[in-house]
Structure 1
Amino acid sequence: MNDTNNLSNRFYALFGSVFLLFAGFGLFLNSAGVKLAQMGVNNIAIGALNAAFFCGASLSAVAAHRIVSNVGHIRSFSVFGAVFAMCSLAHLMTDNLYAWGVLRTVLGFCYFSMLMVVESWFAEQSTPEKRAKVLAIYNLVYYFAFTVGIVLLSLNLSSDNIFVLGTLLVMAAMLPVSLTKMRAPAIPERQSINVPRVFSIAPLAFVTAFTGGLLVNGLFTMASVFLLQQQFNLQQISAFLTSAMVGGFLVQLPLAKLSDKFGRRNTILVCATVSALTAGAGLAAMLFGYATPMVHNGIAFGLGCGLFTLYALSIARANDRLPNNMNTVEVSRSLLFCYGLGSLVAPVVLGVVTNFAPQYGFYAFYALIAVALAVFTLKQARVPVEERSVFVNMPTVSGSMAAELDPRNEEMHEQFDVDVAEKHVAQFAEQSDKTNDTQPENPETHATENMKKDDTAV
């Protein structure tokens, strides 16, 4: 009993670190555009500099585990935190945009490396029966902490002080980890993934993950720039982003139930449609002069409802397309790569769009991308109930070890095999051609077969 309590207390310390990390990230990510806009930097350059952060995140997924394996979790976490703090404060010492590009790349590398360290502890120390609960709390901490970071934007602070506050939050995250007595977990060996072949297995999952990264992190990195062009102040920008986070949080459970009952394809279609209609409403409000701050907040809420579960839905869709006993950790990592690629592209594209169409480009971009996702989704086959996994909520910002926390993999002992997965999809496609036109989906079918999977749902 004492060991269990001690373990819980240690987890609380780790969750404290994650809270501070997410809060600092939320403040820092959204304040960078404000600082650059106040410096008079054009939107294209702002987008490129924001993209540099996610370029560093991609480098972290490739190289950070080697550093951690060589020097240990606690030392590497402290080093990543120290370098993050130095690079963050160095922003205040120079206005050179090339230097900013380098600094933001290093920041992205350090931040996602710190996140990977904490996630590896969660994955190692949580028992299989507790892993779903750990992931659920992790998701809750993300929404609450990220919202706190956004709300801090509304304080009457200078852009320099906002940078300092974001740095202090990330540095504070180092304290619980540095003082922990938890045994350092092992970093699993990475397996190479052939992304094109995995795309052939679950194309909708990959497109949804990419679109999620494109639209969610486009909102975080460039919405503040767009709103500054509309003469919004920091309090109004904070309210806009908070509305999006609230919308994303409130739909988590309803969309999870909708997804399990009616399938990922239909739920992705609903999310894309809601996003397209909401962005279209925002575009109409801009065109006809009704875009008040409250209207913008309502639009942000609708976008949060439509966008924030796309990444989790992409993972669920990929799970549905694979054999029920096949481990999907590596596939989840490849989806995280696609999500990160969308996050990398988003600021650059939105920078160009908002530079040449400052009033209408932002919402027009969201409407077009959401419509494109809806059209692509309509062309994909449905997955019958007996082939589905159980939906699990995943935070939209996570490190490369988050896939290890997914409770759906606990009873899947067969390693991922692309050839076996492709054969499974081919057999499923043949069966679908024979039955889809004659047999409607019945959500009540095969309830007994899914009973074991339901035990791992968050």
Structure 2
Amino acid sequence: MVQVFFASWALFLGMFMLMIGNGLQGTLLGLRGEVEGFSTLEISIVMSAYFLGFLGGSRFTPKMIGKVGHVRVFAALASTISAVLIAYPVLTEPWAWILGRTVIGFCFCGVYITAESWLNDSSDNENRGQALSIYMIVQMAGIVSAQYLVTLGDISGYVLFIVASMLVSLAFAPILLSAGRIPEFGTAKPMSIKQLIKTSPLGSVGMFLLGGVFAAQFGMSAVYGQRVGLTVGQISVFISAIYISALVFQYPIGWLSDRIDRRILIVGLGAFGAGGCLVAYGAGAIVEDSFVAIVIGGVIMGGTSNPLYALLIAYTNDYLEKEDMAGASGGLLFVNGVGAVSGPLILGWMMDQVGPGGYWMFLLVLMAGIALYALFRMTQRERDIEYDNVPYAPISAAGTAVIAEVAQEVYIEAEEEVIAEAEAEADDEANADQETSNDTDRDTN
């Protein structure tokens, strides 16, 4: 893994800075919106706008790259991000922020697609899985670092917005200078939603519900923290806990998913995540200073929801032929994006109705819904007792269809290795049986 990192360190550095800039603006807008007196509904629309733009970017960026190429698309979108980040503190009106978040969601999606295309092109069959793991670590590290930066400036001023803009601008250099040849770009045509639901109802429903969970984590956590009276430093710790636990738990859960019925694991993670939300909600209602309980709730939520994302993709792949996996990943990401767009809107309404505790109630309902639906599906479809699973690959919800297809290639390559090993073992057993039979014949003669 170290060798893979140093081979593409400049590309990873650029992505790290991009993730800091994106993570910083997400938390900063939630905090600044409270300072500016935005209503919960207005803030929730602002947060939803990012995911709406991201969905648009996933559809139109490939067409833009096809017309003018990777470099021009990357430069144009990245410079637009920098401009919007500086515009936020100048135009502190809900309508301006909604427009800005839509644009910035579109642009970040396009930038990620372009950078991930270069990353995919720089890896091969031998190190693609390692590159995927490093990419996920870089993403999480960037978001966590952004939470620390929030504590170093005045959220009511301009400096933090300028820092975010500078980081995005500086990210251009290592990515563009490290990128090799211009890769051939193309993503598989997404599988139709109807076909996706028919193939894996649990994968489809689970990804939709997880979209709402991720939108709440990324967009509304800072708003919740401020509503319950946390300091900026405490909010930073709370959000960091979500993403650190997401990274820590990804690999042990992935190891376990390759060895048991994945539906059992989905039920367990959904129920455990719902339990963590219940603890945090209950502590907030009973104890005045419940910061520790809030952080524990964040750890459980991040440690269960993020691995569930990769787990649901792997579970869906268990029922697909290899040639359909790439298309299915695009469909699953679209379903997840629709859930992400609607998530903050519903959460904002809940927080208006029941107070800040609506944050945990919303997450509890979604995680419990995943667990209960998985239990229901276990009664509808039998699973092979041998649990013939497609090997698990770690992937973050912050990626695009390009990195999802990289993960699918890792799935396919791992499955081919398993099949080849099984065939080799079968051949060895057949040869051994033949030799035994020959020895028996000679003894008889």
TM-score range, shorter chain: 0.7 to 0.9
Is the contact between residue 154 and residue 236 of structure 1 (CA under 8 Å) also seen in structure 2? Answer: no
CA change 1:34–1:126 in 2 (3 A) is: same
Q: CA deviation at 1:20?
A: 0.8
Partner of 1:154: 151
Tell me, what secondary structure is at the counterpart of 1:326?
Answer: helix
Q: Residues of 1 paired with 2:234 and 2:137: CA distance?
A: 25
CA distance in 2 between counterparts of 1:111 and 1:36 reads 21
Q: Distance in 1 between matches of 2:365 and 2:396?
A: 25
Partner of 1:17: 14
Structure 2 match to 1:176: 174
Would the alpha carbon gap of residues 192 and 135 (structure 1) be closer, same or farther in structure 2, given more than 3 Å must change?
A: closer
Q: CA deviation at 1:8?
A: 6.9
Distance in 2 between the 1:21 and 1:239 partners? 21
- Residues 246, 447 of structure 1: alpha-carbon distance in 2 compared, 3 angstrom cutoff: farther
Cα shift at 1:50: 0.8
Q: 2:314 aligns with which of 298, 302, 316?
A: 316
Q: 1:408 aligns to what?
A: 411
Q: 2:271 is matched with which residue: 270, 273, 279?
A: 273
- Residue in 1 aligned with 2:120? 123
Counterparts in 2 of 1:292 and 1:386: CA distance versus 1, 3 Å: closer
Q: Which residue of 2 aligns with 1:241?
A: 239
Structure 2 vs 1, CA of residues 8 and 393 (structure 1 numbering), >3 Å: closer, same or farther? closer
1:333 corresponds to 2:330: yes
CA contact under 8 A between 1:10 and 1:182: conserved in structure 2? no
CA–CA distance in structure 1, aligned partners of residues 95 and 154 of structure 2: 26
Partner of 1:383: 383
Taking the aligned partners of 1:93 and 1:147, their CA distance within structure 2 comes to: 26
- Unaligned regions of 5+ residues in structure 1, if any? 414-445, 453-458
For normalisation by structure 1, the TM-score amounts to 0.86
Say whether the 8 Å CA contact 1:286–1:359 is kept in structure 2. Answer: no
Using the alignment, how far apart are the partners of 2:177 and 2:286 within structure 1? 57
Contact 1:282 1:299 in 2 (8 A): yes
Equivalent residues, number: 415
The secondary structure found in structure 1 opposite 2:92 is coil
What TM-score does the superposition give when structure 2 sets the normalisation length? 0.88
Checking the alignment, whether the CA contact within 8 Å between 1:282 and 1:291 is kept in structure 2 is no
Runs of 4+ in 1 over 4 A off after TM superposition: 7-10
Partner residue in 2 for 1:74: 71
User: CA offsets, 1:191-229, max 9 Å, x none?
Assistant: 253111211111111122122221122112111111111
Which amino acid letter does the alignment assign opposite residue 408 of structure 1? Answer: Y
Shift of 1:360: 2.3
How much is the aligned-residue C-alpha RMSD, in angstroms? 2.3
Are the structure 2 counterparts of residues 211 and 449 from structure 1 closer, same or farther at C-alpha, using a change threshold of 3 Å?
farther
Partner of 1:85: 82
Deviation at 1:317, TM superposition (A): 0.7
Amino acid at match of 1:126: S
Aligned to 1:231: 229
Q: State the distance in 1 between where 2:117 and 2:275 align.
A: 39
CA distance in 2, matches of 1:198, 1:451: 34
Partner letter of residue 388 of structure 1?
N
Aligned pairs (5 A) from 1:55-454: 55-159=52-156, 160-180=158-178, 182-188=180-186, 190-289=188-287, 291-323=289-321, 325-381=322-378, 383-384=383-384, 385=386, 387-406=388-407, 407-410=410-413, 449=422
For 1:266 and 1:185, the matched residues in 2 are separated by 40
The amino acid of 2:160's aligned partner reads I
Task: Evaluate the alpha carbon distance shift between residue 267 and residue 451 of structure 1 in structure 2; reply closer, same or farther with a 3 A threshold.
Answer: farther
For residues 154 and 65 of structure 1, what CA distance do their matches in structure 2 show? Answer: 37
User: Deviation per CA, 1:274-311, whole angstroms, max 9, x where unpaired?
Assistant: 11111111121122225521221111111111111121
Percent identical among aligned pairs is: 24
Contact 2:70–2:182 under 8 Å retained in 1: yes
- Contact 1:116–1:400 under 8 Å retained in 2: yes
Distance across 1 between alignment mates of 2:46 and 2:288? 32
Alpha-carbon distance between aligned partners in 2 of 1:40 and 1:258, rounded to the nearest angstrom: 46
Provide closer, same or farther for how the CA distance between residues 96 and 279 of structure 1 changes in structure 2, counting only shifts above 3 A: same
Whether contact under 8 Å (2:391, 2:414) holds in the other structure is no
Tell me by how many angstroms 1:327 deviates: 4.1
